[in-house]
Structure 1
């Protein structure tokens, strides 16, 4: 099995490193030639929260290149799976530059790989289907924690579960889901707690609501996840965002678990020292994923003929923190 991982960020390095260390044929595609060169010369190091080595993918045990070379390489040596591991805001552009080039080549139609989208937020699967019409598309929801500490090193900040499944709107054949069984077993072989989910949509909506409550507030207040629970005022704002999102879900007919507040508190506690990806983006002065998280809640509300005022406001506040988002 050949797995192409598109994106050399934290998740790309985590999954690529552990898969390659387990003997899986991995190809990692990066934005920059500099990173791909470092990966080829230094390998991938996965360390734990204490900085101790968890595993190492030695140079030569995997391939690394730039995204723009992906299609030509794939046509020469086709792979079975493509993992899209960039941030939500970059997904369409990167997909068009990689797998999207294969979609334009009719000679690749008989050997289409499965594509797994690791993005947060909502709405990206429909956009990917527009770029890759007729392809076997899978959504992934993971609670693995990772932070890239160098172009060739990633810190495994927390062990979680990886759910993979076919969203309902994809309307693909049942055998497409069965096709993913070997891939999930390969992830398990590499040490991941991977599950083939028959209800990935509920996982997507669950993670969306958790991210919509936690991430923007940590970015706005410049605090790690655990500090959200440090004061009653912060908790009140969190509950306001949660209740508004739950009202939107109910109006849209989206089922949601009754213990969402307890789940949010558990995430804040278990990742207390973590810096959310949205806060990292704000600190770096780059575009965040707020449009695809809180903006998605607001968009769902609009479809239901209502307004998610708090989520709309928070989307604007976060976008106003960086010049590039204004």
Structure 2
């Protein structure tokens, strides 16, 4: 498949490297020209936790800066685009890079945490077919052209009801099936789902409980369960989120608290993305994670004081 990946952070590098190694035609769009030049010269170095290294040669991946997106035809000929930027870059990307091509029908897979980005993209790109993606793959960028595959997970893709076009498509089409096939060939355990809304809200609350606390306490995921005081604050954030979901009749399935505890255990050595952002002085996604819970609470008249405080504390750490 001809796949264009917008964003060359940890996940962008991981998916680009493995999909290219599996024989797909990959174009990687980078924020900076230097990174694009480096990948174009060296390829991508892919390491795993067993200490093994795979070098994806530069002739297997085309890399360009995002500033050249329009000049190079806006991903003309792409079967699918992966949007792998963080939430804070989505609106600028939509307005400055993608909007000139909004009239053309394209298929865009969105890998963002939090909520609100699908609706935003649908406003700017009404002709595009938008899909949400949830992945639990672990990746750590170790350089401009190198990435560590830190842990295997799953990738689930599907359309949200509000993102479906006028055709009202409900059946999986050949392109969707082929995409999942290629992802599995590349080593990503992948699925199509018609339950994306539930999965998105489950992941939202999991992130809202785990990520900000790891960032505030500067601890890895597993250390959240190390004391009853920490667990009590986790539970307060969880209970507030569940109260919002109940008031808004938002689907999130069952046994979510147990899954949050299990995620902390199974990813005990992981450094959350929000902690990485704080340590490196970058803006976090708290406004789209805990902030989403706060905004929904206001909409459904449910108080969310713990999420509001957490949001203020996190945002106060980045000046």
The normalised TM-score by structure 1 is 0.93
Contact persistence 2:29–2:64 (CA under 8 A): yes
Shift of 1:177: 4.4
Q: Aligned residue for 1:315? A: 311
- CA RMSD in angstroms, aligned pairs only: 1.4
Q: Following superposition, which runs of at least 4 residues in structure 1 exceed 4 angstroms of deviation? A: none
Rounded Cα–Cα distance in structure 1 between residues aligned with 2:171 and 2:59: 32
Partner of 1:138, secondary structure, is strand
Question: Does the C-alpha gap of structure 1 residues 59 and 52 become closer, same or farther in structure 2, counting only changes over 3 Å?
Answer: same
Q: 1:171 Cα deviation (Å)?
A: 3.1
Are the aligned partners of 1:165 and 1:177 in contact in 2 as well (CA < 8 Å)?
A: no
- Structure 1 residue 2, shift from structure 2 partner: 1.0
TM-score relative to the length of structure 2: 0.95
Q: 2:127 aligned with 1:134, yes or no?
A: yes
| Counterpart position of 2:11 | 11
Q: CA deviation at 1:49?
A: 2.1
Query: How far does the alpha carbon of each residue in 1:63-109 deviate from its partner, in whole angstroms, 9 at most, with x for none?
Result: 00000212332358421111100111112212333322312xx5xx3
Equivalent residue for 1:260? 256
Cα distance in 1 for partners of 2:261, 2:255 equals: 10
- State the partner residue of 2:198: 202
Structure 1 runs not aligned, ≥5 long: none
Task: Return the alpha-carbon distance in structure 2 between the equivalents of residues 235 and 95 of structure 1.
Answer: 39
The equivalent of 2:144 in structure 1 is 151
**Equivalent position SS for 2:239:** helix
Q: What SS does the corresponding residue of 2:59 show, helix, strand or coil?
A: coil
Give the stretch that moved more between structures: 162-171 or 67-76: 67-76
Indicate the SS of the match to 1:28: strand
Counterpart of 1:69 in structure 2 is: 68
Match of 1:223 in 2: 219
In 1, the alpha carbon distance for the partners of 2:248 and 2:288 equals 17
Work out whether 1:125 is the aligned partner of 2:139: no
Instruction: State whether residues 27 and 61 of structure 2, in contact with CA within 8 Å, keep that contact through their aligned partners in structure 1.
Output: yes
Matches within 5 A, 1:279-290: 279-290=275-286
66-75 or 283-292, larger mean C-alpha shift = 66-75
Whether the aligned pair in 1 keeps the contact of 2:209 and 2:234 (CA below 8 Å) is yes
Partner SS, residue 133 of structure 2: strand
